[in-house]
């Protein structure tokens, strides 16, 4: 049995693998004591090896993990578990978004991450949802109801936020503003995809993959490309770490 | 020397005499000492001969400044520069001292942003801020600054800097045709006249020949250092090598060359015995791009903290500064200046267009240094390097060279993200 643990800035994800198959997984808020939380989450398992990934990987290695890999490599491995042929992975997590291009053998050949600004990440969607008065899980569905295309021009979170406020003040319906916010995230994503290059099918992971509007817009944008998501998109990184532990 | 005990020595009275903001500068001094102690002194298997360079940092705000003050007392000038295009041989021939003033610290940026726009290169802001805040003894000690017309950020900053310190400007051509060389030749002559005027001394052919030798020898020593870094395991860390390349811009050139050569003796011995600072299995990374001015060790530190080693810097604080020498066998002043001009026209800075030579040079250095991947580093808002990055990337893709491009400034904000990207890059190299 191997455990992979993905210590993100907001949540911790754990995936458990036995004989190369995922047998369990868990997700919890990082809270004020991520180290304690992580230990709590894995204490019921008896793994031969623990591999950590994510923002807190080095902290985990100091205390309990046997090895670390980056989120990039972890997502590459995790995505291949679900879609063995995939050559492109898009991951939008809380603090960052990334596009990873894989070689035929599954190794990482190229990748891009967003710069230090939050735009284009889950956090950006969350900030915008809050300022428009939506709960996060209503945000995507609300945007889908819009049939008006309005655009946000600014790519920077702070400016985008004031643009959103001024749209609200101009009386543009919240669902249309929501639509514009989603569109701006997808525009960023496609720009990154174009830089890295992509194949015929794209695996979309990370919590934002559960947002139906982002998925739909991305699919529309990339026309002849198939956009697929695993059933538990949040734990792709943790799963990749666990599978890595299994391999070596 | 222990990491905890490393200190950059204070010289408050000297600073006072240079009209500095002493209390504020003293804090910066302490911080530099702490950072240096942590980043440098604890490295495993460091070459013994690094002791001289540690001492140069310990005395960076003291002894070296005193040496410059003494030079000034003899009526010889201290010239501040910001570009490897300014011919330091001419200054040395006139008995003066050339010092590179490029800024690599975030501490002075708020001072600069009181005046300059925020969205320009951090190196320019950092340097300008040092002068505004009176928090760099080198800036305080120079008699005048010689700027150049390379990038827009610098070119236009000179006009503002001139209000704080006399700032002259050399026109650097943008292309490398015959008429550009003619222009540059004229500029070199004007530069010589200006330096002679300040020094009240006419530079003889012997003076210039001697100066060319001195600077050539400095460049030769650095070439030798680069060469020995190609051996595996790496005999010296990239951080230490970068440090030496940075010190090259303010140390006394004859002594510096001697010390670099002494270090190279030790490193060559290490190479013969198969000794190194890190196991030969550690990924070898070459860094290419914008200069990393003291104390900008951010990227090297991240790469080496992740278990890899930097083996080459294709940059102006790096090989671009010393890869070419001046022909020493010229006898008339015109011939000498012509040979000097030739050497300087080989500098493959991204401010030139086109600049194919740089791509070839990068690939050559990649091979020569036995690197396994190239990390392109561009300072934020440096348009020329940022755009030229496209060609570097394409060349690496074509050659199948693992490649990562980073754009960053001096703030610590993006360290976490850079760490992830660099580690992922190393995973790629390790396969
Ligand atoms: S990068 Fe260009 S402008 Fe900067 S020091 Fe080098 S030659 Fe001068
Ligand atoms: S790094 Fe680029 S923008 Fe900055 S001073 Fe050098 S050439 Fe100019």
What CATH number should be reported for the domain holding residue A127? 3.30.420.40
pLDDT digits (tens, 9 = 90+) for A64-74: 999 999 999 99
Phi, psi (deg, nearest 5) at residue B187? -65, -40
Ligand 2: residues with CB < 6 A are: B 121, 123-124, 150-151, 153-154, 290, 351, 379, 382, 384-385
Kindly give the distance from the C-alpha atom of residue B199 to the centroid of ligand 2, in angstroms, as a whole number: 30
Of B127, B145, B135, whose CA–CA distance to B30 is shortest? B135
The contacts of residue B370 (CB under 8 Å, 6+ apart) are B230, B231, B232, B284, B311
* pLDDT in the model for residue B5: 80
Of A146, A125, A141, whose CA–CA distance to A212 is shortest? A141
Q: Given an 8 Å threshold on Cβ–Cβ distance, is B420 in contact with A71?
A: yes
* pLDDT in the model for residue A120: 76
Number of domains in chain A: 2
The contacts of residue A176 (CB under 8 Å, 6+ apart) are A146, A148, A150, A167
| Rounded distance between C-alpha atoms, residue B359 and residue B371, angstroms | 16
Closest Cα to atom 7 of ligand 1: B349
- B2 pLDDT more than 80: no
> Which chain A residues have a beta carbon less than 8 Å from that of B423?
70
- B56 pLDDT more than 60: yes
* pLDDT in the model for residue A154: 67
Kindly give the distance from the C-alpha atom of residue B290 to the centroid of ligand 2, in angstroms, as a whole number: 7
Query: Distance (Å) from the C-alpha of residue B239 to the closest C-alpha of chain A?
Result: 22
Asked if residue A120 and residue A205 are part of one domain, the reply reads yes
Kindly give the distance from the C-alpha atom of residue A224 to the centroid of ligand 2, in angstroms, as a whole number: 42
| Rounded distance between C-alpha atoms, residue B339 and residue B262, angstroms | 29
Of B250, B243, B256, B257, whose CA–CA distance to B292 is shortest? B243
Span B179-206, average pLDDT: 95
Structural domain for A247, as ranges: 1-83+234-248
CA distances from B222 to B50, B228, B377 (A): 14, 10, 21
| Rounded distance between C-alpha atoms, residue A69 and residue A61, angstroms | 10
- A150 pLDDT more than 80: no
Asked if residue A96 and residue A58 are part of one domain, the reply reads no
Lowest mean pLDDT among A115-129, B13-27, B337-351: A115-129
Asked if residue A206 and residue A121 are part of one domain, the reply reads yes
pLDDT digits (tens, 9 = 90+) for B113-141: 999 999 999 999 999 999 999 999 999 99
- A118 pLDDT more than 80: no
- Give the one of A55, A69, A111 whose C-beta lies nearest to B416's C-beta: A55
Asked if residue A154 and residue A129 are part of one domain, the reply reads yes
How long is chain A? 248
User: In a 3-state reduction of DSSP, which class is residue B151?
Assistant: coil
For residue B150, give the ligand 1 atom closest to its CA.
3
Span B251-263, average pLDDT: 98
CB-facing half-sphere around the CA of B6: CA atoms within 13 A? 25
* pLDDT in the model for residue A188: 87
The share of chain B scoring above pLDDT 90, in percent, equals 97
Asked if residue A138 and residue A103 are part of one domain, the reply reads yes
Of B343, B344, B327, whose CA–CA distance to B209 is shortest? B327
Compare all CA atoms of chain B with the CA of A76 and give the residue at the minimum distance: B424
* pLDDT in the model for residue A156: 67
pLDDT tier at B11, thresholds 50, 70, 90: very high
pLDDT tier at B4, thresholds 50, 70, 90: low
Q: Which ligand is located closest to the Cα atom of residue B123?
A: 2
Of B268, B318, B236, B317, whose CA–CA distance to B50 is shortest? B236
Asked if residue A144 and residue A97 are part of one domain, the reply reads yes
The contacts of residue B115 (CB under 8 Å, 6+ apart) are B128, B132, B160
DSSP per residue over B77-121, as a string?
Answer: -EEEESSTTS-HHHHHHTT-EEEE-----GGGHHHHHTTS-SSS-
Asked if residue A183 and residue A154 are part of one domain, the reply reads yes
| Rounded distance between C-alpha atoms, residue B144 and residue A244, angstroms | 59
Query: Distance (Å) from the C-alpha of residue B424 to the closest C-alpha of chain A?
Result: 6
By the CB < 8 Å criterion, does B407 face chain A?
A: yes
pLDDT tier at A5, thresholds 50, 70, 90: very high
- A234 pLDDT more than 60: yes
Q: Given an 8 Å threshold on Cβ–Cβ distance, is B417 in contact with A96?
A: yes
Name the DSSP class of B203: P
Signed CA dihedral, B247, B51, B216, B319: sign only? negative
Span B130-158, average pLDDT: 96
Closest Cα to atom 4 of ligand 2: B121
* Contact (Cβ atoms closer than 8 angstroms) between residue B322 and residue B343: no
- A155 pLDDT more than 70: no
> Which chain A residues have a beta carbon less than 8 Å from that of B431?
107
- Give the one of B413, B424, B431 whose C-beta lies nearest to A116's C-beta: B413
* pLDDT in the model for residue B319: 98
Residue in A7, A54, A110, A116 to test binding to B, most B beta-carbons within 10 Å: A116
* pLDDT in the model for residue B406: 95
The contacts of residue B55 (CB under 8 Å, 6+ apart) are none
Question: At CB < 8 A and 24+ separation, what contacts does A115-119 make?
Answer: A115/B407, A115/B414, A115/B417, A116/B413, A116/B414, A116/B417, A117/A155, A117/A156, A117/A157, A118/A157, A119/A155, A119/A156, A119/A157, A119/A160, A119/A184, A119/A185, A119/A188
* Contact (Cβ atoms closer than 8 angstroms) between residue B243 and residue B49: no
User: In a 3-state reduction of DSSP, which class is residue B229?
Assistant: coil
Kindly give the distance from the C-alpha atom of residue B149 to the centroid of ligand 1, in angstroms, as a whole number: 10
Asked if residue A243 and residue A184 are part of one domain, the reply reads no
* Contact (Cβ atoms closer than 8 angstroms) between residue A242 and residue A3: yes
By the CB < 8 Å criterion, does B202 face chain A?
A: no
* pLDDT in the model for residue B328: 97
The contacts of residue B63 (CB under 8 Å, 6+ apart) are none
- B198 pLDDT more than 90: no
- Give the one of B407, B413, B424 whose C-beta lies nearest to A108's C-beta: B424
Query: Distance (Å) from the C-alpha of residue B4 to the closest C-alpha of chain A?
Result: 22
Residue B319, judged by CB atoms within 10 A of its CB (0-12, 13-18, 19+), counts as buried
By the CB < 8 Å criterion, does A185 face chain B?
A: no
Span B399-425, average pLDDT: 94
User: What is the side-by-side order of every strand in the sheet holding A108-113?
Assistant: A108-113, A97-102, A88-92, A201-205, A226-228
- A149 pLDDT more than 90: no
pLDDT digits (tens, 9 = 90+) for B268-314: 999 999 999 999 999 999 999 999 999 999 999 999 999 999 999 99
Span A217-241, average pLDDT: 92
Boundaries of every domain in chain B: 12-430
Asked if residue A162 and residue A44 are part of one domain, the reply reads no
Asked if residue A35 and residue A104 are part of one domain, the reply reads no
pLDDT tier at A19, thresholds 50, 70, 90: very high
Asked if residue A77 and residue A109 are part of one domain, the reply reads no
* Contact (Cβ atoms closer than 8 angstroms) between residue A214 and residue A186: yes
Neighbours of B115 (CB within 10 A): 15
Higher confidence at residue A93 or residue B404? B404
Name the DSSP class of B9: P
* pLDDT in the model for residue B7: 96
Residue B281, judged by CB atoms within 10 A of its CB (0-12, 13-18, 19+), counts as exposed
pLDDT tier at B405, thresholds 50, 70, 90: very high
Neighbours of A141 (CB within 10 A): 14
By the CB < 8 Å criterion, does A55 face chain B?
A: yes
Residue carrying the six token digits 């030229």: B388
| Rounded distance between C-alpha atoms, residue B219 and residue A218, angstroms | 54
H/E element holding A25?
strand A21-29
Asked if residue A112 and residue A77 are part of one domain, the reply reads no
User: Kind of pairing, strands A11-18 and A2-7?
Assistant: antiparallel
Closest Cα to atom 8 of ligand 1: B83
Angle, CA of B41, B47 and B49, to the nearest 5°: 95
* pLDDT in the model for residue A100: 96
Q: For ligand 1, is residue B282 a contact (CB within 6 Å)? A: no
* pLDDT in the model for residue A158: 67
> Which chain A residues have a beta carbon less than 8 Å from that of B421?
72, 111, 113
Angle, CA of B51, B55 and B57, to the nearest 5°: 120
* pLDDT in the model for residue A76: 96
The share of chain A scoring above pLDDT 90, in percent, equals 63
Lowest mean pLDDT among A105-114, A144-153, B24-33: A144-153
- Give the one of A55, A111, A115 whose C-beta lies nearest to B424's C-beta: A111
pLDDT digits (tens, 9 = 90+) for A121-140: 888 899 889 988 999 889 99
Kindly give the distance from the C-alpha atom of residue B158 to the centroid of ligand 2, in angstroms, as a whole number: 13
Of A238, A247, A232, A248, whose CA–CA distance to A52 is shortest? A238
DSSP per residue over B161-201, as a string?
Answer: HTTTS-EEEEPPPSS-SHHHHHHHHHHHHHHHHHHHHHHT-
Span B74-98, average pLDDT: 96
The share of chain B scoring above pLDDT 70, in percent, equals 99
pLDDT tier at A3, thresholds 50, 70, 90: very high
């Amino acid at each position: 049995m191997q455990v992979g643990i993905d210590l993100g800035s907001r949540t911790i994800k754990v995936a458990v693998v036995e004989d190369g198959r995922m047998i369990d997984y868990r997700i919890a808020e990082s809270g004020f004591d991520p180290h304690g939380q992580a230990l709590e989450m894995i204490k019921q398992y008896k793994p031969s090896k623990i591999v950590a990934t994510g923002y807190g990987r080095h902290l985990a290695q100091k205390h309990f993990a046997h090895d670390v890999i980056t989120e990039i490599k972890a997502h590459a491995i995790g995505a291949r578990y679900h879609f063995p042929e995939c050559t492109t992975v898009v991951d939008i997590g809380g603090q960052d978004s990334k596009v990873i291009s894989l070689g035929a053998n599954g190794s990482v050949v190229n990748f891009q991450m967003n710069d230090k600004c939050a735009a284009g990440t889950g956090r950006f969607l969350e900030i915008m949802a809050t300022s428009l008065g939506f709960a996060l899980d209503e945000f995507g569905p609300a945007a889908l109801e819009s049939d008006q295309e309005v655009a946000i021009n600014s790519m920077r979170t702070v400016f985008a936020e004031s643009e959103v406020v001024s749209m609200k003040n101009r009386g543009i319906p919240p669902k249309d503003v929501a639509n514009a916010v989603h569109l701006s995230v997808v525009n960023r994503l496609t720009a990154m995809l174009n830089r890295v290059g992509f194949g015929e099918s794209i695996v979309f992971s990370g919590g934002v993959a559960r947002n139906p509007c982002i998925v739909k817009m991305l699919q529309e944008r990339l026309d002849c490309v198939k956009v697929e998501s695993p059933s538990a998109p949040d734990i792709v990184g943790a799963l990749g770490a666990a599978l890595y532990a299994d391999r070596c | 020397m222990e990491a905890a005990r490393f200190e950059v020595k204070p010289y408050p009275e000297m600073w006072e005499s240079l009209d500095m903001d002493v209390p504020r500068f003293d804090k910066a001094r302490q911080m530099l000492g702490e950072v240096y102690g942590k980043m440098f002194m604890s490295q495993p298997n460091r070459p013994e001969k690094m002791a001289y360079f540690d001492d140069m940092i310990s005395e960076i705000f003291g002894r070296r400044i005193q040496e410059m003050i003494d030079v000034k007392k003899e009526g010889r000038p201290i010239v501040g520069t910001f570009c490897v295009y300014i011919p330091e041989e001419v200054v040395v021939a006139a008995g003066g001292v050339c010092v590179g003033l490029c800024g690599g610290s975030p501490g002075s940026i708020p001072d600069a942003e009181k005046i300059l726009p925020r969205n320009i290169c951090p190196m320019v802001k950092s340097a300008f801020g040092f002068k505004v805040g009176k928090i760099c003894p080198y800036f305080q000690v120079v008699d005048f600054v010689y700027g150049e017309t390379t990038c827009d950020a610098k070119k236009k900053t000179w006009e503002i800097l001139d209000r704080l310190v006399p700032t002259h400007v050399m026109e650097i051509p943008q292309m490398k045709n015959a008429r550009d060389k003619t222009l540059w030749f004229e500029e070199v002559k004007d530069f010589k006249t200006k330096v002679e005027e300040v020094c009240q001394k006419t530079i003889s052919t012997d003076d210039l020949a001697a100066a060319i030798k001195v600077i050539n020898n400095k460049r030769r020593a650095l070439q030798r250092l680069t060469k020995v870094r190609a051996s595996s395991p790496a005999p010296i860390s990239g951080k230490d090598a970068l440090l030496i390349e940075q010190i090259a811009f303010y140390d006394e050139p004859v002594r510096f060359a001697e010390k670099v050569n002494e270090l190279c003796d030790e490193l060559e011995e290490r190479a013969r015995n198969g000794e190194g600072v890190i196991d030969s299995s550690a990924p070898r990374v070459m860094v290419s791009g914008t200069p990393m001015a003291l104390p900008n060790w951010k990227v090297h530190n991240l790469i080496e903290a992740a278990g890899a080693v930097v083996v080459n810097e294709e940059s102006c604080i790096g090989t671009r500064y010393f890869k070419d020498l001046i022909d020493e066998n010229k006898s008339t002043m015109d011939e000498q200046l012509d040979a000097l001009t030739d050497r300087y026209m080989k500098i493959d800075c991204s401010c030139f267009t086109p600049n194919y030579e740089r791509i070839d040079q990068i690939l050559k250095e990649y091979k020569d240094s036995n690197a396994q991947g190239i990390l392109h580093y561009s300072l934020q808002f440096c348009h020329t390097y940022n755009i030229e990055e496209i060609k570097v990337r394409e060349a690496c893709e074509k050659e199948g060279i693992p490649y990562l491009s980073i754009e960053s400034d001096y703030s610590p904000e993006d360290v976490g993200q850079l760490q992830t990207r660099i580690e992922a890059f190393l995973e790629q190299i390790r396969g």
